[in-house]
Amino acid sequence: MRRKISLKPITLFLLLITFVSYGKDEGEQGEHKTDKKTEVKEYIQHHLKDSYDFGLYSYTNDSGELKHVGFPLPVILWDNGLKIFSSSKFHHGEEVAEVGGSYYKVHHSKIYKVDGPNGEIIEDENHHALNEKPLDFSITKNVSLIILVFAMMFFMFSKMAKSYKKNNGVPTGMGRLLEPIVLYVRDEIARPNIGEKHYKRYMSYLLTVFFFVWIVNLFGLTPIGMNVTNNIAVTLCLALITYLITTFSGNKNYWKHIFWMPGVPWPMKIILAPIELLGTFIKPFALMIRLYANITAGHVVLMSIIGMIFLFQNWLGSGLSFLLAFVLAILELLVAALQAYIFTVLSALYFGMAVEEHDHEEGH
Amino acid sequence: MGKLFEDFSLGLFFWQAILFIALILLLKKFAWKPILDSVNEREEGIKNALDSAEKAKLEMQNLQADNQKLLKEARAERESMLKEARDIKNKMIEDAKGEAQDQANKMISQAQAAIESEKKAAMAELKNHVAGLSLEIAEKVVRTELSNKNKQLELVETMLGEKSLNEA
Amino acid sequence: MEIPAIVGAGLVVIGAGIGIGRIGGSAMDAIARQPEATGKIQTAMLIAAALIEGIGFAALFAV
């Protein structure tokens, strides 16, 4: 009891100090703060974008030079022939790379063709580059992570499969951890949503997409800062595969429900057909946007709050920001799994709709 | 929306599509199929084991019921045997009793018959005796009468008085 | 006077938030009433929430 009372004046004192120091910041370091603000903003924007080299971190050395630590990745371009070169030629986007008589420059994490060794990117009034863009199949940072996850998953699950054979149908090691998750996907996602009769056909896709999205999301939370799922190209690819599987496994009943909804008067049928048809596109589209937006939003919020730790020039604000960032990071761990789950559940649901056989009761 | 299309990277899409489809196919062959097959097999095994356990339990129950039935039957048999034995015993006792009764009756009736015949014999003897006596008396009376009338009368009188007393 | 698009997007997000909140609340009620149907209710809840979420995202990215 005594302790509690004695804490009060200390807290008050600390609060006073905070206000004082806050006031000081406003006066003396106002300019410095806006500087930092833009720096944080740029850093976040940079983080959200793909890059051509695998940068681990960067720092400014004593002589004021910006140093990057990391390693270069291969750039593969199709521009009147295949062109492969190391991304170190760009010097982290600061220089023009000359390959086989053509000049390329990185602008906003995209490669553009420029006229000469000193060529510049020409922008229109909306800051859209007007330069020609070569077809770009580079192994970027994100592609390298996809390859890493590919290798990891293949290693993990093929090892798990082998351990079943060695140990008479009981997994060992990592398999013990992974088996319940695999069974969860089968028993809680595939079976109830697709149905006992057809679920086996879709298990491979559902399991792969679940673990892929989950692992990639978790990698996005590591300090290496690679976030594959906040690229619309990746989520589009996943959603497109779901859409294609749904469309190609759709049976008579499924198409009938789209084009000639049973159990409604015929004028309604004509109105419903285009809506239902549109729905088949909107569903995977929402799937794509949902994953992309959730991960992007999570990263932006988390990084902004981490940035606030550096923006606050006093320890209370920074401490609170740190606490908030910590809680948010844990929340993001949950979101990483949840988004993988939702993507898989909704995919399974769409497959289930496509293969559903019995007719609904009238009045549906 | 425009920003989305601007961000779209064909290269990333290309690599993602190729790698992801390859991953699905590879994992299907090397991981998912063996894993799910083994899990299915295991589950099937467990289900079979459970089924057989259930079956064994049922059999056990049947056996127990059989045993119960046998026991019941045995008990019933014992009961009936006991009852039979008791019946036999009772009957034997009854028979013995009856026979004894008969025997007794027979003996009694024999005794009675013997008594009767003895009695009859005695009576007959008595009658003979009485007849003899009567003859004697009559002889005496007749003799006395022939000598003394008064004495004769007196004699008859006393003799008759005795007789009647004896007769009664 | 022109209303900026971001305001519209904000309105849509408010609507979506209310909608998802109601879905979640109703699902909780339903689960409390019938705990044995939890799985089915959760699936239905997720689907409905996902559809509304889609509208919200569409509004956000249309800006």
Q: How far is CA A85 from CA A74, A76, A96, A148, A236, in A?
A: 6, 7, 13, 21, 28
**pLDDT value of residue C32:** 94
Pick the range with the lowest mean pLDDT from A19-33, A181-195, A255-269, A283-297.
Answer: A19-33
At A77, which amino acid appears? L
Distance from CA of A154 to the nearest CA of B (A): 6
Q: Give Cβ neighbours of residue A247 (< 8 Å, ≥ 6 apart).
A: A280, A354
Q: What is the C-alpha separation between B143 and B47, in angstroms, rounded? A: 139
Nearest residue, CB atoms, A286 vs list C39, C46, C50? C50
At A302, is the pLDDT very low, low, confident or very high (cuts 50, 70, 90)? confident
Pick the range with the lowest mean pLDDT from A121-130, B16-25, B114-123, C6-15.
Answer: A121-130
**Prediction pTM value:** 0.72
The domain limits of chain A are 52-139, 142-355
At C48, which amino acid appears? A
What the block records as the tokens of B56 is 């064994």
Phi and psi for A165 in degrees, rounded to 5? -70, -40
Nearest residue, CB atoms, A146 vs list B10, B19, B39? B19
Q: What is the C-alpha separation between A45 and A33, in angstroms, rounded? A: 18
Interface size A-C, in CB pairs within 8 Å, comes to 33
What are A71's strand-pairing partners?
A: A54
The percent of residues above 70 in pLDDT, for chain A, comes to 87
Using CB atoms and an 8 Å cut-off, which of residues 3-62 of chain C contact chain A?
Answer: 39-40, 43, 46-47, 50-51, 53-54, 57-58, 60-61
Correct CATH for C8-62 of 1.20.20.10, 1.10.287.90, 3.30.230.10, 3.40.250.10: 1.20.20.10
Q: Is residue A20 predicted with pLDDT exceeding 80? A: no
Provide mean pLDDT across the span C37-45. 84
**pLDDT value of residue A6:** 53
Question: Across A35-44, B66-75, B97-106, C48-57, which has the greatest mean pLDDT?
Answer: B66-75
Q: Give Cβ neighbours of residue A304 (< 8 Å, ≥ 6 apart).
A: A40, A44
Provide mean pLDDT across the span A44-69. 75
What's chain A's length in residues?
364
Q: Which of A40, A65, A51 is nearest to A224 (CA)?
A: A51
**pLDDT value of residue A2:** 44
- Per-residue HEC secondary structure of chain C comes to CCCCHHHHHHHHHHHHHHHHHHHHHHHHHHHHHCHHHHHHHHHHHHHHHHHHHHHHHHHHHHC
For chain B, the farthest-separated pair of C-alpha atoms sits apart, in whole angstroms, at: 197
Average pLDDT, chain A: 79
What the block records as the tokens of A94 is 């600061």
Cβ–Cβ contact B1 with C under 8 A: yes
Question: Across A188-192, A213-217, A270-274, B113-117, which has the greatest mean pLDDT?
Answer: A213-217
ipTM: 0.80
What are A102's strand-pairing partners?
A: A99
**pLDDT value of residue A358:** 67
Cβ–Cβ contact A207 with B under 8 A: yes
Provide mean pLDDT across the span A36-53. 78
What are A84's strand-pairing partners?
A: A76
Using CB atoms and an 8 Å cut-off, which of residues 44-63 of chain C contact chain B?
Answer: 61-62
Query: Is A231 in contact with B9 (Cβ distance < 8 A)?
Result: yes
**pLDDT value of residue A76:** 83
**pLDDT value of residue B144:** 67
What the block records as the tokens of B134 is 């009567």
Q: Which residue of A has its CA nearest to C48?
A: A346
Contacts of A346 in chain C (CB under 8 A): 46-47, 50
For chain A, the farthest-separated pair of C-alpha atoms sits apart, in whole angstroms, at: 81
| CB burial of residue A98 (10 Å; 0-12, 13-18, 19+) | middle
Pick the range with the lowest mean pLDDT from A35-49, A229-243, A279-293.
Answer: A35-49
What string of pLDDT tens digits covers the 168 residues of chain B? 566 667 788 888 888 999 999 999 999 988 888 888 888 888 898 999 999 999 999 999 999 999 999 999 999 999 999 999 999 999 999 999 998 988 988 888 888 888 888 888 888 888 888 888 888 888 877 776 667 777 767 777 887 877 666 655
Q: How far is CA C31 from CA A187, A192, C46, C53, in A?
A: 20, 18, 14, 22
Question: Across A37-46, A349-358, B17-26, C41-50, which has the greatest mean pLDDT?
Answer: B17-26
Sign, CA torsion A290/A296/A298/A301: negative
Q: Is residue C9 predicted with pLDDT exceeding 50? A: yes
Half-sphere exposure of A330 (CA within 13 A, CB side): 5
Q: What is the C-alpha separation between B32 and A256, in angstroms, rounded? A: 33
Nearest residue, CB atoms, A204 vs list B15, B19, B24? B24
**pLDDT value of residue A18:** 45
Q: What is the C-alpha separation between A303 and A325, in angstroms, rounded? A: 8
The domain limits of chain C are 8-62
SS3 assignment, position A260: coil
Q: Give Cβ neighbours of residue B65 (< 8 Å, ≥ 6 apart).
A: none
At A7, is the pLDDT very low, low, confident or very high (cuts 50, 70, 90)? low
| CB burial of residue B93 (10 Å; 0-12, 13-18, 19+) | exposed
C-beta of residue A230 within 8 angstroms of C-beta of residue A295: yes
Using CB atoms and an 8 Å cut-off, which of residues 171-200 of chain A contact chain B?
Answer: 179, 182-183, 186, 200
Sign, CA torsion A153/A155/A156/A162: positive
At A16, is the pLDDT very low, low, confident or very high (cuts 50, 70, 90)? very low
**pLDDT value of residue A21:** 42
Q: What is the dihedral of CA A217, A221, A222, A226, to 10 degrees?
A: 60
At A1, is the pLDDT very low, low, confident or very high (cuts 50, 70, 90)? very low
Q: What is the C-alpha separation between B43 and B59, in angstroms, rounded? A: 24
Q: What is the C-alpha separation between C63 and A94, in angstroms, rounded? A: 32
Using CB atoms and an 8 Å cut-off, which of residues 321-360 of chain A contact chain C?
Answer: 342, 345-346, 349
Q: What is the C-alpha separation between C49 and C56, in angstroms, rounded? A: 10
Provide mean pLDDT across the span A269-295. 85
